[in-house]
Amino acid sequence: MKTSRSRLALAGRRGTMLGATLALLAGVVAAPAAQAQDVTPGTVSDASFVWGISGYAQKGIFGPWRILDASGDASALVGSVSGGTQAEYTPAAFPATSMPVSLVGGQQATPNAIKFSDGEGVRGTDGTVTIDWDGEITFNAYPANLNAPDETLADPKLTVNADGSGTLNADVTIGAANDMNGNPTPEVNAGRTTVLAFGPGAAQVAEDGTITLSPRYAGVQHHGGTQDRTCTAPNVWGAWTPEWLAAVPASVHPHYYNTGCGGDQNLKGPLPLQVTYDLTEDETQVPVGTPKIQLSETTLAADGSHQVTITGTGFNDRSVVGVRPPLAGKPAGFYLVFGKFEDAWKPSAGGTSAARKVVEQKWVLAAENHAVIGGAAAGAVELRPDGSFTTTLTVSKGAADAKSETGGYGIYTYAASGAVHAPWELSAPITFTTGGDDDDDDDTGNVGGGSLAGMTNLFGSLM
């Protein structure tokens, strides 16, 4: 096993990533470097991120915003803007980021920041990264005596896609408070909310694990208020994510989009994230395989039910992660199905569940996730670390015909939990006979990797 330490290249610091210098302006990559390819996959651990919210949060109307009530793996860092000494997070000043130009002791001021530690996740061979953190932390733009609503983030999750786009989401709660007229307002749980979004190429994963995360802001329109879109460089107009603006009270919306040009309006974009983590790789790890399945029989009598054994290899691409519960953001495995499918069943080609009539289904996934889906009683089958599996399905022509009058009988595989992954979509046709002895035929089905004539190569996802 080999463990390496990885660190985010923070916007505004001098450095290169894969030989290309990143110029960041108010949360937008001005000259993105090429997306890294074929990075080392592995398990992410001891991950942390540090984030200064925005330049506006470092100044505010009444001074820097309060950061409070940290619990779990969350903590607050106090910068020189509030008399503190944190030196872990030091973004460059505007116009490199939204950090205000401010000198403390002759040096550019450092911001107050939110920190989450001890995150865990995975990194795929194409640079995809998912990391989860536990804990919560609150910030508030106003002094406590004004009883303005707290904005609380809990259990954040970072997702970076292969194209460099991604999100940071969290469970968001708006605390009970008084509105601008002094009337009490109740606590509101906004649920899972996209706090920050990154456009394609704005987040990049290098071979050494370095990630640069610069949230979208400049040019993002907000339709719920008076946004000035006439600003010209170096001034910036923009907005945070629509999901975040929908979650926070209308009274604080102007903190998250520009209402004019110049001055403090340039400080409202989110500051970059600074991420570190350990990556543990298995030096004996086999390369991502070519998925294949083999059936014990493919020609069966039309009457009765038959037990068909299916073995598979090459399903070891850990970058294939679910996009919906219960395994969203985690390696979710794939479905193994006996059914009667139409020609256009492939999810990656737009096929819907209506084209896939399932007679019996099993869920092939890593053993540690079996309990999440209900175990063997729910059809869980172990996907071994090397990408292989063995199981049986009950095959019945009568049961299939009861499901649909059309479609092809077969054994099918496709990625689970909403994922779409072309190499994992395979099919092996089943033929039913009504008399005669076909035992002299070689009816063993080998499917996958384009190795057999008549084999259907399919493209992956979920029902």
pLDDT tens, position by position, for the chain (463 residues)? 555 554 433 322 222 222 222 222 222 222 233 333 445 678 999 999 999 999 999 999 999 999 999 999 999 999 999 999 999 999 999 999 999 999 898 999 999 999 999 999 988 877 788 999 999 999 999 999 999 999 999 999 999 887 878 899 999 999 999 888 888 999 999 999 999 998 887 765 545 555 768 899 999 999 988 999 999 999 999 999 999 999 999 999 999 999 999 999 999 999 998 888 888 875 544 567 889 999 999 999 999 999 999 999 999 988 899 999 999 999 999 999 999 999 999 899 998 999 999 999 999 999 999 999 999 999 999 999 889 999 999 999 999 999 999 999 999 999 999 999 999 999 999 999 986 544 444 455 667 653 333 333 322 333 3
Residue 320 near residue 419, CB atoms below 8 Å: yes
Q: How far apart are CA 202 and CA 157, in angstroms?
A: 17
**Chain-centre distance for alpha carbon 289:** 23
Residue 154 near residue 173, CB atoms below 8 Å: yes
Q: Which one, of 51, 61, 12, lies nearest residue 196 by Cα?
A: 51
The confidence score (pLDDT) of residue 27 equals 29
Q: How far apart are CA 221 and CA 207, in angstroms?
A: 35
Reported pTM = 0.57
The confidence score (pLDDT) of residue 124 equals 80
> Which two structure tokens, joined as six digits, stand for 462?
């979920």
The confidence score (pLDDT) of residue 373 equals 95
Residue 279 near residue 42, CB atoms below 8 Å: yes
